[in-house]
């Protein structure tokens, strides 16, 4: 039996989900997908980039990831809406629920795309089933998807990127030469800017030229990654659809500060905020970390980092923060800070922690306290308990800091639509 893989990709996901929500739940009359519109971050908090854009934005040259200020220069009438990750997660879950009607072999590749192993699950031809699925998503959820149909994950993903929106495309092995090889090499999955430039120096500009390239030459210039790209260009990919995501090999969060940080005390408070979220994620997964790292990006966007091995694996905020502060003090040279990160690795999940001869901390006692706080936050909201260093000072002098920072920032988690103009 021929293997059949679908790749389902939501068209302009964040923008589409916002448009549908406004039309069907908030009484909106104008479909954001039909006008130059985009989802963008808060410029005041230095999150001002385009996260998703409508198809009409293409004629203005607006790109995902560019600053909002640049996008507005290209299109002064651009309609900008704030991100709402709570809505995105609900919309994504609704999509996956429909996909499960067809198969239980689903790999969610990102919040807005998924692979489906449809081998033996198609009613009629794979193309007919894909069209049926696409139309059901549009009818029941209001947004559109592209579906790539192929014999492996790579070709399915390539196919879904063909003409958009609301389309089904196939890319079977006998279609590779006609449909994939004429494309620019940058269109191939896993070809980034650096790889593209190296391939250009070898005279490789299309996927077809890459498919015909000497593997020894590719390995000499791009090492093992060159061999992988050569195989991909020939449509070779044996990777399975993984229904159970692998366990995290590391936990970390970072945040961009509203303004440059020049005070070490303020930086350490931000590190408390990051340690809170990282340790909570560790405890939620019954995991402990043996390595803690700190990353700093300064106002010139220069990056540096430092890490250390702990004397014992931990999931405690107090220990992760202490390690982060020590690393920060060793790393920071006083240059104004734009972004801070706390990261952990060397993860263990055996549930035990060996007592050390020189331990001064009662690990079990502190862990019970922090676990109790986790339960309170889960039941009553993350703001029900916060550390004293985050309480607002009546005298001012220190800006308000989110006591659980990093990851998706608070203003992106939900939107107060009473403050929004619904067109």
Active site residues: 113
For 229-362, where are the E strands, in sequence order?
Answer: 250-261, 288-298, 303-314, 337-348
Tokens for 245, please give them: 């995501």
**DSSP H helical segments within 100-214, as ranges?**
126-141, 153-160, 176-179, 193-201, 207-211
Q: How far apart are CA 48 and CA 28, in angstroms?
A: 25
Handedness of CA 11, 12, 14, 17 (dihedral sign): negative
Query: Which of the 8 DSSP states describes residue 77?
Result: T
Cβ density class 55-83: b for 16+ within 10 Å, e for less: ebbeebebeeebebeebbeebeebebbbb
Closest by CA to 288, choosing from 329, 247, 331, is: 247
For 34-78, where are the E strands, in sequence order?
Answer: 37-40, 50-53
Closest by CA to 165, choosing from 188, 146, 187, is: 146
First to last CA, the chain: 51
Residues with Cβ < 8 Å from 70, sequence gap 6 or more?
Answer: none
Closest by CA to 233, choosing from 315, 162, 176, is: 176
Closest by CA to 152, choosing from 175, 186, 182, 132, is: 175
* 124: alpha, beta or left? (left if phi > 0; alpha if psi -120 to 50): left
Q: How far apart are CA 109 and CA 111, in angstroms?
A: 7
In sequence order, the β-bridge partners of residue 116 are 6, 106
The SS3 call for residue 236 is coil
Residue 67, preceding bond cis, omega within 30 degrees? Answer: no
The SS3 call for residue 177 is helix
Q: How far apart are CA 72 and CA 49, in angstroms?
A: 11
């Amino acid at each position: 039996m021929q293997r059949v893989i679908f790749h389902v990709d939501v068209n302009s996901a964040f923008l589409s989900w916002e448009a549908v929500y406004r039309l069907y739940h908030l009484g909106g009359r104008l479909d954001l997908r039909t006008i130059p519109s985009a989802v963008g971050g808060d410029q005041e908090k230095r999150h001002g980039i385009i996260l998703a854009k409508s198809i009409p934005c293409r004629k203005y040259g607006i790109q995902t990831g560019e600053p909002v200020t640049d996008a507005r220069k290209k299109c002064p009438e651009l309609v900008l809406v704030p991100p709402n990750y709570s809505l995105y997660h609900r919309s994504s879950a609704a999509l996956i629920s429909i996909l499960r009607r067809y198969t239980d072999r689903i790999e969610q590749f990102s919040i807005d795309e998924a692979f489906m192993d449809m081998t033996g699950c198609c009613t009629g031809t794979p193309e007919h089933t894909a069209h049926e699925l696409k139309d059901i998503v549009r009818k029941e959820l209001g947004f559109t998807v592209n579906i790539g149909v192929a014999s492996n994950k790579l070709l399915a993903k390539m196919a879904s990127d063909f003409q958009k929106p609301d389309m089904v495309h196939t890319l079977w092995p006998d279609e590779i030469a006609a449909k994939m090889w004429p494309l620019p090499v940058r269109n191939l999955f896993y070809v980034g800017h650096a790889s593209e430039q190296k391939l250009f120096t070898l005279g490789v500009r299309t996927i077809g030229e890459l498919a015909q390239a000497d593997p020894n030459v590719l390995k000499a210039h791009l090492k093992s990654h060159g061999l992988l790209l050569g195989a991909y260009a020939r449509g070779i990919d044996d990777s399975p659809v993984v229904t159970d995501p692998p366990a995290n090999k590391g936990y970390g969060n970072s945040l961009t500060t509203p303004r440059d940080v020049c005070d070490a005390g303020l930086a350490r408070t931000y590190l408390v905020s990051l340690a809170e979220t990282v340790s909570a994620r560790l405890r939620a997964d019954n995991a402990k970390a043996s390595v803690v790292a700190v990353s700093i990006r300064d106002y010139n966007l220069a990056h540096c980092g430092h890490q250390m091995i702990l004397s014992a694996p931990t999931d405690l905020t107090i220990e992760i923060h202490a390690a982060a502060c020590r690393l920060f003090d060793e790393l920071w040279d006083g240059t104004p800070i734009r972004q801070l990160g706390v990261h952990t690795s060397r993860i263990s999940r055996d549930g035990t922690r060996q007592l050390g001869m020189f331990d001064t901390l009662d690990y079990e006692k502190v862990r019970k306290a922090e676990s109790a706080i986790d339960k309170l936050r889960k039941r009553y909201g993350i703001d029900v308990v916060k550390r004293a260093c985050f309480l607002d000072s009546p005298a001012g002098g220190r800006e308000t800091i989110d006591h659980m920072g990093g990851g998706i920032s608070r203003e992106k988690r939900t939107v107060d639509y009473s403050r929004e103009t619904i067109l």
